[in-house]
A and B are shown apart, each in its own frame.
Chain A
Amino acid sequence: MSDTAQIEIPQGPAIKAKLGKDDWIMRSFIGIIVIYLIIALAFPLYAMLSKAFSTFHYDLTQFEFQVSNEEGKFDGSIFSASRLNDEVSAYAPEELVTGSGGRLAATKFFPDYSFRSPVLYKVRGTSDDAVFVVGSERKVGTEWREADSNLFRKVVFLPVKSSGFGNFTRYFSTPSLVRSIQNSLVISAVSTIITVTLAFGFAYSLNRSCMRFKGIFRLIAMIPILVPSLLPGIALVYLFGNQGILKAVMMGESIYGPYGIIAGSVFFTFPHAMLIITTALAISDARLYEAAVSLRASRWKTFWTVTIPGARYGLISAAFVVFNLVITDFGLPKVIGGQFNMLAVDIYKQVIGQQNFEMGAVVSVVLLVPAMLAFTMDRMVQRKQVALLSARSVVYEPKPNNRFDWGCLAYCSLVAVFILGILGICQYAALIKFWPYDLSLSLKNYAFDLMDGGGWAAYRNSIKLALLTAFFGTIVVFIGAYMVEKTQGFKVGRGIFQFLAMLPMAIPGMVLGLAYIFFFNNPANPLYFIYGTMAILVLCTVTHFYTVSHLTAVTALKQMDNEFESVASSLKQPFYKLFARVTVPVCLPAILDISIYLFVNAMTTVSAVVFLYSTNTALASIAVLNMDDAGDIAPAAAMGMMIFYTNVVARLVHTAVSRGVLQRTQKWRAR
């Protein structure tokens, strides 16, 4: 009313809620999970970023020498290392830039140095933070240290640390490294186009035709999820490699390089794209098609004016997801990339091959940019798709059309042959005595204990990791999602949590693994003790696959009536009673889905854990990588297939358990 509209809200603070017991418990839980994510994600990433921006150089003005005569007498004259360098040009300026592990030999400042000479040397720093090593002793400060010629060999200077863009400047002035950016972008783009096109055809056949065997095709399309991404690489080597059965098809081109990477990428990203597009096609409104028919639009025209626009968000989303998977994948280009460098492999090469951690961090930052972009775009598009979902629509029912249905069947069969062929060749190769010379069957490739890579222990470790990840991950993820969905107020805590929960999806596995090295492999860190144990592998894997699990849990929780909590509190029942008696039982299908997702991914993941495993915690997927690296390709294929069979068993168990649990606890679903 006009006369009350002018009244002003009274001054003073807003009413503050008195927090009940439930509020305190829930907030503590959010706090704990936020701390978990900060330790498992934010701190390591910060450590990595600061590493990328840490530069090291030798400051020669920090060091001074005295040199004796042949009798071992010093005349008191002092030479600065920088002056000596100017005189004898021992080190070029670019040689003075180094990494954290850099060491500079002192002998080079003295061209006439000989380790047999009786000359004595004295060395000291000019400031308190100058550091050098004499023999195996680390020396700091301005006190003179004496060394005979023999010991002087072992006098080295340590670099000083400063921060800046130096590493990036070096990165971008190294052509071999920069070329990887272009390589990665091109490979990812090409793979994306191929995969999305193929997956669209497949999803379209499943959704819009009346072809037979839809269920089987759907199962086959999901197979690549169950194997490590490097397995198609191994299969391609057997098919098109130097001794491949179909080498002739390559017409002189090598499979090692872009062709192999693209073919393998299409294989392992196919199910992801197919799932997203299927969802998008499934929500299309049948009424639009009825309208198109009534307007006498041709099938072709309907396809372009109704089908494609309706599925556009799904297509775009699938494209970004595939792009992200390919650009961040490490296993496949490592196995089949040959000399063709990709960003994810560069990180590995810099860190493991050259021990250049700063450069590894720089490549990680470079890789983060496209990954973050693709992730952000995907989130934006998905939000729009959700808006479409909520609209009321009528489900499209395809009508039989002989020619079309047979076409779809032929197409899907082709894709199925590709997928099954990749797996089949791996299994075949694993059972062959000595490819391609002795094709008799044997189990010798399964004698993993006779090879490098960890043996059967690695396989057992993988199962252990997968079980632990599924168990702890599901608990953490589901409780976290519940707290963030159902807590009142506490906006700051929930905001931080939500951001951190979405972040892992944007972080490539290689980057996360490297970040873990920087953060946990530091004796000053109170959590140093978990470095090299199974615990850090579990922590890293849960974090790596946090986002999708979190979203699954949130989706399930959003379907629960928001007023359940209100009713429970009005009945003076604690939230944890509601949680245990209603929320968990109702969400059990989603909870089981999360655990199988975590299990399967823990079995197949390579990228994050490749930096973190130790001899005691070698994993099956890493063993595939290492055996392949060592030339034991058949055992690598055998181990890869072991992962596949394990995941198949896990899925079967999951299905059986889900059915059983559903029958026992979800009676209420039946009307």
Chain B
Amino acid sequence: MSSAEIDQSTFLEIDGVWKAFGDFFALKDIGLEVHEGEFVCFLGPSGCGKTTLLRAIAGLDLQTRGSIKQAGKDISNLPAAERDFGIVFQSYALFPNLTIEKNIAFGLENTGVAKAAINSRVAELLELVGLPDQGKKYPAQLSGGQQQRIALARAIATEPGLLLLDEPLSALDAKVRVSLRHEIKELQRKLGVTTVMVTHDQEEGLSMADRIVVMNHGVIEQIGTPIEVYRDPSSLFVADFIGEMNKIRARGTDKKDRVKIGKKEVTCLPHEFAKDETVIAAIRPEDIIPHGKGARSPGARDTIANPENCLEVVISDMEFLGSYWNAILKGSELDGGELHANFSMNAVRRMDLEVGKKIEVELSANRLKVFATAQEPDG
């Protein structure tokens, strides 16, 4: 679902939220809006405050300052039981002594719903999460992925307005994780429930979320769609945390679209740095384009967009990663540093690339972004 399709009415409004643990601030002045039906992901390294923020939204650990509104109602200081959400934890938190059915029915009991209605709702939910025949079993008899699906069914059983997912996939095997993240996304789309997920896995965030909130040291670094966050990171931290990024020590020039790498002035995205200011030029491995014979498929022209951005490099090592090669490049113009570049299988075959070979690569000017060195994350 692209952001354009989302109903733009604000569902969750977080304003000026702080969380203090003694002298330490786990959250600093967090402001954020989540739209109705949107899937938002809090992404960041451990200790960045993402789980703290989720627990504040749930009312499990109250924030120290700031307000949280859900569906227009101020829920800032309400206990969890008086809020409207369903939650799924990394540990599944299924009640071990109750059957799957009883687990899912737990929130439906004592709500004035008739027993028959509860039973049919439970059956419906089991169907929804793809485990229709497992109702009589106990949690320990299911696999991790199945247990997490039951936890999801239990969370949405009462049709909450907000679904909170706290690292739901982190305890699972890699394979199960990939298939389950697809299923969760599918389910969320089907139900249209506003969802907030916490994860430290950038792949999860990129593949599942409508918008990503990148957090670090208790502050929001960037909010945007997965593509925005990947393509146009607002800070070196974001650039580094999401995907792979080459960082090259560089200096400013008198032109705002140029930066000096070693002795070479290359064209880059516009920036605000002064001449000779030390900066970091950043480029992703897939934006380093090889040139020379065989670099393009037969028939296509091997055009160099910015000749000044071309570097002479030597392949010092190559790593086969299945669908592409990761090449480590060294060169006199790189000031002792090295670059990681992703070359397609075909390009490697056509250009006959191997360790020790000298080639020419171009740093795509419209992908080369400049950041201040002070932004270097200290973690």
Contact = CB atoms under 8 A, between A and B. Distances in A.
Interface of A: 1-2, 4-5, 7, 9-10, 12, 14-23, 488, 561, 563-564, 566-574, 577-578, 581-582, 585-586, 665-671
Nearest to A11: B65
A449 B237 CA distance: 85
Could you say which interface size class chain B belongs to? 35 or more
B91 A563 contact: yes
A1 B29 contact: no
Contact of A570 (B16, B66, B80, B375): B80
B323 to A, nearest CB: 35
Interface string B144-185: 000000000011011010000000000000000000000000
Contacts of B97: 582, 585-586, 665-666, 668
A563 B79 contact: no
Contacts of A16: 77
Nearest to A667: B138
A247 B29 CA distance: 83
Interface stretch (B56-64, B224-232, B279-287): B56-64
Contacts of B33: none
Nearest to A561: B93
Contacts of A582: 95-98
Residue in A1, A23, A563, A572 whose Cβ sees the most chain B Cβ within 10 Å: A1
Contacts of B141: 671
Contacts of A7: 28-29
Given A9-B65, A582-B95, A671-B140, A572 B79 contact: no
Contacts of B158: 571-572
A667 B140 CA distance: 10
Interface in B33-90: 58, 60-66, 76-83, 85-87, 89
A417 B367 CA distance: 84
Given A20-B79, A569-B79, A671-B140, A9 B107 contact: no
B324 interface: no
Contacts of A20: 78-82
B325 interface: no
B221 interface: yes
Given A19-B79, A566-B89, A4 B29 contact: yes
A9 B66 CA distance: 10
Residue in B76, B79, B217 whose Cβ sees the most chain A Cβ within 10 Å: B79
Given A15-B77, A16-B77, A573-B107, A561 B91 contact: yes
Contact of B79 (A14, A23, A567, A585): A23
Contacts of B300: none
A268 B83 CA distance: 56
Residue in B77, B87, B96 whose Cβ sees the most chain A Cβ within 10 Å: B96
Contacts of B79: 17-20, 22-23, 569
Q: Which 10 A-B pairs have CB atoms at the shortest separation, nearest pair first?
A: A571-B107, A20-B79, A668-B138, A563-B93, A569-B80, A569-B81, A582-B95, A563-B89, A14-B64, A18-B77
Given A563-B91, A581-B98, A573 B106 contact: yes
29 contacts: A1-B217, A1-B375, A9-B28, A9-B64, A10-B18, A10-B65, A14-B64, A15-B64, A20-B82, A23-B79, A561-B93, A564-B93, A566-B60, A567-B155, A569-B79, A570-B58, A570-B81, A570-B85, A570-B155, A571-B86, A571-B154, A572-B81, A572-B111, A573-B106, A573-B107, A582-B95, A586-B97, A668-B96, A668-B140
Interface in B205-251: 216-217, 219, 221, 235, 237
Given A9-B18, A9-B65, A572-B81, A2 B375 contact: yes
A574 B82 CA distance: 11
A33 B217 CA distance: 41
Nearest to B56: A15
B80 A4 contact: no
Contacts of A569: 60, 79-81
Contacts of A12: 65
B6 interface: no
B290 interface: no
Interface of B: 16, 18, 20, 25, 28-29, 58, 60-66, 76-83, 85-87, 89, 91, 93, 95-98, 106-107, 109-111, 138-141, 154-155, 157-158, 160, 216-217, 219, 221, 235, 237, 374-375
A15 B93 contact: no
Nearest to B237: A1
A1 B58 contact: no
B78 A18 contact: yes
Contacts of A571: 86, 106-107, 154, 157-158
Given A665-B97, A667-B138, A567 B87 contact: yes
A567 to B, nearest CB: 5
B221 to A, nearest CB: 7
Contacts of A22: 79, 81
B139 A566 contact: no
A524 to B, nearest CB: 43
A1 B221 contact: yes
A78 B107 CA distance: 88
A243 to B, nearest CB: 59
Given A1-B221, A568-B106, A15 B28 contact: no
Contacts of A581: 95, 98
Nearest to A665: B97
A10 to B, nearest CB: 6
A4 B154 CA distance: 39
Contacts of B221: 1
B282 to A, nearest CB: 16
Given A21-B81, A561-B93, A573-B107, 15 more contacts: A1-B237, A4-B29, A15-B76, A17-B62, A20-B80, A20-B82, A488-B61, A570-B155, A571-B158, A572-B81, A578-B95, A586-B97, A668-B96, A668-B138, A668-B140
A567 B107 CA distance: 9
Nearest to A20: B79
A666 B79 CA distance: 32
Given A1-B375, A10-B18, A567 B89 contact: yes
Contacts of B217: 1, 5
Contacts of A585: 97
Given A15-B64, A22-B81, A566 B138 contact: no
B77 A586 contact: no
A278 B241 CA distance: 48
A20 B110 CA distance: 18
Contacts of A4: 28-29, 219
A459 B110 CA distance: 48
Nearest to B63: A15
Nearest to B102: A581
Given A15-B63, A18-B77, A570-B86, A1 B219 contact: yes
Contacts of B29: 4, 7
Given A1-B237, A15-B76, A586 B96 contact: yes
Nearest to B60: A566
Contacts of A1: 216-217, 219, 221, 235, 237, 375
